[in-house]
Each structure stands twice: as C-alpha cells, then as structure tokens.
Structure 1
Amino acid sequence: MADIEATIEYLEDLELYDNVKPYWCSLPPRDGFDPDKERLDNLEFESRKIQIHDMRFLKDKPRIDVNGFQVFDHTTQISRFEAPEDVARYKSETEELHLKNLGAVYVKCYDMALRTNILFDRTEYDLNDPLHTEGPVRGAHNDISRNFGPQMINKHLPDREKELYMRPGYRFRIINTWRSLLPIVEDRPLALCDSRSVAAADLISCDRIVPEHIGEVYFLKHNSNHKWYWLSRQKDSEPFAFVMYDTKAGPHARFCPHVSFDNPQSSREAPPRESVETRSLVITRE
C-alpha cells in the first residue's frame, strides 16, 4: 500500500463561531422530533482533499509522546459485545494494556463506545446502555479540551487515588484506544493527525451536550501544515492508542485530532466498519 489522497472533514471557518460557540447535542430522540426541521447542532463542515500517509511502512514508527498516537500489538479476548459483562471485561483488558505499554501506576477505563458504519433507523435508544452503538463521528476532532480535562479527572478518579496521585511527580493523561472489530478494516478507517503539525489556533472548542452534563471537545480547522496518517489494512490486533489530554507541560504531544474517512482503496465487498473505542484515565510517574 502507498500513501493515499482522501477527503477529510474540517470545521468550516465561519464568522458565526466568532460570536456563537459551536455545539453538538447527543440526546435521545423524542416523539414528534424531525431532524430536518430542528437541528441538534450548529456545526458546518468543509471537505478537503488531503494526503494521508501510511504508517505501516514508516521506518520510524509513530509514538504517543511524539506524534500523539501509536499502534499497539494486542489481541483481545472479546471480539463481540453481546452483554454488559463483555464491556466490563474489555475495559479491564484496556487497563492492563496501558499498565503494560505506558508504564502506568494507575489506569481507569471509564468509557467505551461501539460504532458501525450503517444507516440507523430507530425512534428511541438509551444513551446509558453499555451496548449502545452509533455511527462514525463527523469532523476531525479531539475528544477532550484543555478546559474539560480536569473535570473528567475529578469525576472518574476515586477519592483514595486523588490522595495518592494528585501531587507533584505524577502525570495524568486521557487516552483513547481504538480497535477494529473486523479482522481487517477497509471501510471508514481512522485517520490521525500528527500533533506537531497542529497549531493552537486550529483547535476550536465545542460544547458536547448530553443528558447528564455539558462536555467540551475540540473540532479542527483546516491548516495546510497538518500531517495525517492511517494504517492500511489495519487488523483487529493492531489497536491505536492516542492522547486526548495531558497534564504535563512541554513540547510533547498533548492531543491527537482524528476522524474516519472514505477509503479509496476499500473493496466493494468490504463489510461496513465495526469498531470499539475506550477512554481511559492513565497516571504515570513524571
């Protein structure tokens, strides 16, 4: 495989966002709701043709501290999610993965999302259902903003661990771990943007509104300096780990914009993408 040219969706650079903060509501559908008449966001995207580099054949493999992302070699024991117990087991697997590969002293996998690239036709769903499945997210984004990161740490870190680790000498990161649930993913694979190529002004804060709270993510504005990467014919044993938030100051990677894209090399017979992603609070010594 070689590098490819594909379309990446960016947040459009509109005057609207000079006065109105971007927002996106993730709320259950209700009786009488018509998405063609009542929008749940004010997001407008533009499509750009971008060169996406294949990291499979890079001599120097991307590293989470340098580029913001990394490929792990790991085979999961949970290939299908059919019961809440499968979710709990997968979260535990993810914690063990980061304890081993990132040298963590503490890991808490606090969130998991299942996605598949199909058209959903449903009138109701439960956002608290651990087996709830959604489609791919639109627009290049980073899951956690700098302002929202501390709130997530405070929410998910137990009191005992706060006493142990909320002191000098410890580093807190929020890590997204993304895995294909197919043996090989061709349809709508994930592209990752090298953190070093992203300027602070490219990251636009956006409110993510869910029933229990208002979170904040970053959407990405286009910049010709951005360098994008993917992993051709990514296997289910090649999960991505990429950083969403980092308390350690310095020039290292502290975020990683990402988005799925239409793969021009995908075969017509390729099944719709199925994937699982987790968000974990990872504590290491500085």
Structure 2
Amino acid sequence: MQDVLKFLCKLPLYESVQPYDLYGYPEQQAETQSNCQFEAKPVSTRDIRELGNTTIETHGFTYFHHESKCDLNSKHFEEVKADKTVVQEYLYETIDMVRKKLDAVDVICFDWRFRRRDPKVAGKIPPRDINNIRSWALPSGDVTHCDYSAVGGQDRLRMILLPEELEKMHTNNHFASIYNVWRPLNKVVKNTPLLFCDKRTIQKTDLIEVDKVLQDKVEKSYFLFHRDYHKWYYLANQRSDEVFLFPTWTSKSDGGEHADCSPHGAGASQTDQWKDPRESVEVRMIVIQSNSHAE
C-alpha cells in the first residue's frame, strides 16, 4: 500500500545549526518559532500481518491482542471535567500488561496522550494551552520521529528517577528503556494508520537530533531524513484490541550502525472518506529490566 509521511528536509543549515521547535513562546515571531522544514514523501508500506511475527529485538516494534476492561470512550481522555477514574484504571491496566509482557523489574508511567485526526476540523481548532494538553485531543503525529534521542532519553530518566534509583539500577545489573503502548479507540482503524520503519533499515546517520524547547525544559528527540531503502509497515484494519508496543529509547544500545529504535509516524491514507476519524491513546513509561534475563 502507498502512503505519505513527512520527513525533515536534508538542508545544509542542519550541518551547523541544531533543528528546533519552540512551544509556549507566543511572543516570538512566527519565523523564529522553528527552523524545521519538512517534505511530504510517498512511502510503500507492507501489512505487518504478512510478516507473521514481529519482535522488538528484530524489527523495533510488535503488536498483540489485548482486550481492555476499561471503557475506552474518547470522552474519558479528552473532556476537562471527565471522570478521570477511567484514565487511571487504564494506566494501571497498561502498566500491569507491560510488566508481564516484558518480565520487567519495574514499570513507571510518566505520560499519556490522546490524539485525533480529523481533516474536517483542521484549521478550525482554537488556540490551546500548551501546559494543559491532557484536556484536548492532540493531532496525530505525521512527522516521522523517535520520541527521544540518545541524550534525550538519559535526560528523561534523570528527570523521573531519583539518584539512588539510578544507582540501584546500575548496581543490580539492570537496564532502562522508554516504551510506548499505542492503542486505537476506534473499533477498526480506517484512516491515518500508525506506520513503523524496520529499525534494521535505518542508518544512525539517517537520524538527526532536534530540540523541543519548552518553557521549563528542552526535550531532545530524533527526526528522520527520507531514504528509499527504508522499509515501512502498518497494521491493516487495526482493531481497538490490537496494541502496539515499542521502545522509543533504550540504554542497552548495541553500538552498531543501525538505529536502536523504530521511527514512526501517522500516515495520510484513508479508506472511509474520514467518516470515523482515527482516535488513539498512547501511554509512555520507563521500563526497568534485568540484563541477565535479556541475555
């Protein structure tokens, strides 16, 4: 299947200047809010179901069946005055699922996001409070990226864990990763599928670090340059009981020339004329695992 993704343009500028985006600085002129220039590129995608089995170790992502016991209605994740009990129940359920799936020593949830892609209202959404992103639907991320760079993941780890927890992790021969659990809320996804690139086809030089400059911190992630040799995958007709699990950063790097994690982004394809805009919830967590078990 053909789809379209956005990639950072390969500009001479980025050989000497770090790509950046400013968030929460409305007083800045529009032209200084970001120095990132993107290009939309067609990509050939293959249905993950055809692979038979995908693994985090080999491909950088996997999916599996998991029937949530929670009421996965978007109103629980979007409305400011919604009953957040459902959100809490879903987070605890997801933590428990990941702990069992990865045989983890510890799982710490530090973030979650609700997203919706609806072209019918694009451009009509009023300005939102960047400091209160838990009360409205974020747009789907159509720019290919990894959530954290090598440095950005370390920064996040130090932000969440206490110094004694970091020391204990090293003393006990453990390693840390940042994982994302991505679940659609639609019964069946008919538009904007989440696309993954096989990490084995990504050279580390295809990635470039970008600064997301917030008012209280700078988050470092990766954008991706387009290359014809990249191999992209999607899950055809993904259901709400089919969950993606993938690391977005890991301290257990193999030091090789290929990417440690799989870049991803939301495709632009649709098969339903946008009758049922894709909605999704992603949960971000730090996962501590034993090196001895991983080996």
Q: Which of 256, 275, 292 is the aligned partner of 1:270?
A: 275
Trace 1:25-36 onto structure 2 (pairs within 5 A).
25-27=22-24
1:132 and 1:160, CA in 2 relative to 1: closer, same or farther beyond 3 A?
farther
Which residue type is aligned with residue 260 of structure 1? A
When the two structures are superposed, what TM-score results if normalisation uses the length of structure 2? 0.87
Which residue type is aligned with residue 160 of structure 2? H
Look up the match of 1:254.
260
Q: Which of 225, 232, 240 is the aligned partner of 1:236?
A: 240
Specify every segment of 5 or more residues in structure 2 that has no aligned partner in the other structure, as ranges: 77-81
Specify the SS of the correspondent of 2:171.
coil
Contact between 2:5 and 2:142, CA under 8 Å: does it hold in 1?
no
Q: What's the offset of the Cα at 1:42?
A: 1.7
CA RMSD of superposed structures (Å): 2.1
1:42 and 1:253, CA in 2 relative to 1: closer, same or farther beyond 3 A?
closer
Specify every segment of 5 or more residues in structure 1 that has no aligned partner in the other structure, as ranges: none
Q: Which of 101-110 and 85-94 deviates more?
A: 85-94
Contact between 1:243 and 1:253, CA under 8 Å: does it hold in 2?
no
Which residue type is aligned with residue 260 of structure 2? R
Q: Which of 32, 38, 46 is the aligned partner of 2:39?
A: 46
CA distance in structure 1 between the partners assigned to 2:213 and 2:238 by the alignment:
32
Bigger proportion of residues as helix: 2
CA distance in structure 1 between the partners assigned to 2:36 and 2:283 by the alignment:
24
1:12 and 1:131, CA in 2 relative to 1: closer, same or farther beyond 3 A?
same
Q: What's the offset of the Cα at 1:29?
A: 5.6
Q: Which of 45, 68, 74 is the aligned partner of 2:66?
A: 74
Q: Which of 73-82 and 110-119 deviates more?
A: 73-82
Q: What's the offset of the Cα at 1:89?
A: 2.2
1:242 and 1:109, CA in 2 relative to 1: closer, same or farther beyond 3 A?
same
CA distance in structure 2 between the partners assigned to 1:197 and 1:41 by the alignment:
29
Aligned length: 277
Look up the match of 1:92.
92
Contact between 1:10 and 1:222, CA under 8 Å: does it hold in 2?
yes
Q: What's the offset of the Cα at 1:254?
A: 2.4
Specify the SS of the correspondent of 2:99.
helix
Trace 1:146-161 onto structure 2 (pairs within 5 A).
146-158=150-162, 161=165
Contact between 2:196 and 2:265, CA under 8 Å: does it hold in 1?
yes
1:253 and 1:20, CA in 2 relative to 1: closer, same or farther beyond 3 A?
closer
Q: What's the offset of the Cα at 1:68?
A: 0.6
Contact between 2:23 and 2:130, CA under 8 Å: does it hold in 1?
no
CA distance in structure 2 between the partners assigned to 1:73 and 1:172 by the alignment:
25
Specify the SS of the correspondent of 2:65.
coil
CA distance in structure 2 between the partners assigned to 1:129 and 1:222 by the alignment:
30
Which residue type is aligned with residue 219 of structure 2? G
1:227 and 1:244, CA in 2 relative to 1: closer, same or farther beyond 3 A?
same
Contact between 1:83 and 1:131, CA under 8 Å: does it hold in 2?
no
Cα deviation, 1:121-161, whole Å, max 9, x if unaligned, reads 21342523533321012311000000111111111124563
CA distance in structure 1 between the partners assigned to 2:164 and 2:36 by the alignment:
40
Q: Which of 124, 144, 148 is the aligned partner of 1:140?
A: 144
Look up the match of 1:208.
212
Q: Which of 218-227 and 76-85 deviates more?
A: 76-85
Contact between 1:73 and 1:237, CA under 8 Å: does it hold in 2?
yes
Q: Which of 164-173 and 210-219 deviates more?
A: 164-173
Identity %: 30
CA distance in structure 1 between the partners assigned to 2:236 and 2:157 by the alignment:
34
Contact between 1:104 and 1:285, CA under 8 Å: does it hold in 2?
yes
Which residue type is aligned with residue 44 of structure 1? Q
